[in-house]
A and B are shown apart, each in its own frame.
Chain A
């Protein structure tokens, strides 16, 4: 196979490279969809493919045409931003044939925890439960109306919203203290927590009520660390160093 002065290896490898390159470009030519690159770096026909897909969702507006009372009720509640089909599933078929095609109506516990199960990444104040502990086995609808959900009773304790703080406090030295020992809570806070805030202590003397050396100890509490408030803190505030919901000092 030696061709003149060209070494055999070069001839063979050149031929193989040629075959590889030619077959790559042939493959590329055959396999690249014809409409690729027409609008951008994708197959233009994909747009038509997507357009031709059957429509599954009717959209919340369509629901209001018949179920106006429920839509009206929902529009005032906390679920106003949640579209009907989020819970009831895609219902385009139902709008076309309302009698024989019925949308889903989840009545058990499977749907609600998708949004309301406890997750550390959800914002504080968003209603969250630990599904396994929150009335296990009971359908959510027993106490909550999905079209106008409100907590069945106004939360009695702060942990209903401030779960993270409450859990921390629960295992801390301050566990025996009520939240109201340090915070005064206006009634309006329960209804409108973001606008009407609770009050927090502002001076070191407040902590000193229990922790200063001359404070009166309470008999039912474990020994309280005592300090001379003025000398100990100087120009700092107590909570510059100690986190009141989980104080570290013993």
Chain B
């Protein structure tokens, strides 16, 4: 073949069929994939915390505070991908000051503020209040000042006050569960309500997003718990991780069923988009959907968790199983976000063509930025763990014992 023709063929190769000019480049890129992933971790971690607080799953006590702090760390980082994607972060406040009541995105600003200020911060404060007061008395210098500020001026550590803290904490968690559902259900709602896009437009979207959020959040807290235990040279509470694995199995089953239901429903409905969507799945999304999301991030960890939880293994082996499954689940859920966000923009609204997406390395929406934004919540978490160690209660229990 002539070199000139080779170049023509190469230029044609990435695109198939017919696409409109505004579909040539994707408008929502890697950072928009990151955003639902991060908010999902928040919602999941919070739901996990509520299992202990509201539903009295005592085995999960060792991860209760860790889950709350993880939720806070991820929540602080969650809007950053959006700001980086949109540019002009200084304009973000305008959405709160002059909100448009018919815009789901604008209203979400309030859901976010409510969840951050009223639910998470308050719950963490009530839970840690006595510890903070104690720390403010024990510490010296700058840290004393920090803890003094964190007490917000309260000094009461009487049994009645502690009881009150507990009561309010529980009430906030009860309020927090629907808030967490809203927080992540909203992300699915935004995609699900884009009626012009057959890959997104589905009423099941918020529910699917929510359950996948719970899966990823639980798995993430399990991973963080295991890693922090290893770093602190503490033994991992097997009853806790076993319970976590059980809950993960249940939620994964529900999540998997919902996604399967969505798939079957689309197939049965067989709207005019079905052909391009099947091309999308078998061609552009084969690796990220079939291999990563369904197989490596769904079925393999599900079977892995089942085998590890109910098989006869030594604890060390079981921990390794859990850890690997936890990592695979993260890969799977991240792929799910990828497939929704990127997949939805890869086919033409003409339903006759597919475009391509290549991740950039540099720039505000590039891979490096995404890595920074993924690592950032972990840094925030490290600071929070230093400031408000979740294992304070553990130590006190040991002391009293």
| Chain A interface (Cβ < 8 Å from any Cβ of B) | 1-2, 7-9, 12-13, 16, 20, 27-28, 31-32, 36-37, 41, 118-122, 130, 132-133, 163-164, 167, 170-171
Contact A163 B126 (CB under 8 A): no
* B84-98 interface code vs A (CB 8 A; 1 in, 0 out): 000000000100011
B-side contacts of A171, CB under 8 Å: 1, 5, 9
| B7 in the interface (beta carbon within 8 A) | yes
B-side contacts of A32, CB under 8 Å: 97-98
Contact B7 A31 (CB under 8 A): no
- Give A20's nearest chain B residue, CB to CB: B117
| B196 in the interface (beta carbon within 8 A) | no
**A and B contact pairs by CB, cutoff 8 A, 25 listed:** A7-B164, A8-B155, A9-B126, A9-B156, A9-B164, A12-B153, A13-B152, A27-B97, A28-B97, A31-B93, A36-B98, A41-B98, A41-B100, A121-B20, A121-B21, A122-B21, A130-B8, A130-B11, A133-B4, A164-B12, A167-B8, A167-B9, A170-B1, A170-B9, A171-B1
Question: Which of A13, A32, A36, A163 is most buried by chain B, counting CB atoms within 10 A of its CB?
Answer: A13
B-side contacts of A164, CB under 8 Å: 12
Q: In whole angstroms, what is the CA distance A8 to B154 when docked? A: 6
B-side contacts of A167, CB under 8 Å: 5, 8-9, 12
Q: In whole angstroms, what is the CA distance A31 to B353 when docked? A: 47
A-B contact count (CB 8 A): 72
Secondary structure of the B contact surface, majority rule: helix
Q: In whole angstroms, what is the CA distance A65 to B168 when docked? A: 78
| B357 in the interface (beta carbon within 8 A) | no
CB distance from A204 to the nearest CB of B (A): 27
Contact B21 A170 (CB under 8 A): no
Q: What total of chain B residues lie within 8 Å of the partner, measured CB to CB?
A: 34
Contact A12 B152 (CB under 8 A): yes
From A27, A36, A121, A132, give the contact of B23 (CB < 8 A). Answer: A121
Instruction: Please report which residues of chain B, range 127-148, place their CB below 8 angstroms from some CB of chain A when the two chains form the complex.
Output: 129
Contact A120 B12 (CB under 8 A): yes
Contact A31 B97 (CB under 8 A): yes
B-side contacts of A27, CB under 8 Å: 97
Q: In whole angstroms, what is the CA distance A118 to B12 when docked? A: 10
CB distance from A240 to the nearest CB of B (A): 17
CB distance from A5 to the nearest CB of B (A): 10
Q: In whole angstroms, what is the CA distance A9 to B152 when docked? A: 9
B-side contacts of A9, CB under 8 Å: 126, 129, 154, 156, 161, 164-165, 168
CB distance from A11 to the nearest CB of B (A): 9
| B19 in the interface (beta carbon within 8 A) | yes
Q: In whole angstroms, what is the CA distance A41 to B152 when docked? A: 39
CB distance from B212 to the nearest CB of A (A): 33
Given A27-B97, A118-B11: A8 in contact with B156 (beta carbons within 8 A): yes
B-side contacts of A7, CB under 8 Å: 156, 160-161, 164
| B281 in the interface (beta carbon within 8 A) | no
From A36, A119, A132, A133, give the contact of B21 (CB < 8 A). Answer: A119
CB distance from A135 to the nearest CB of B (A): 12
Contact B156 A130 (CB under 8 A): no
A-side contacts of B20, CB under 8 Å: 121
Q: In whole angstroms, what is the CA distance A164 to B165 when docked? A: 71
CB distance from B112 to the nearest CB of A (A): 15
A-side contacts of B122, CB under 8 Å: 13
Q: In whole angstroms, what is the CA distance A32 to B20 when docked? A: 39
| B114 in the interface (beta carbon within 8 A) | no
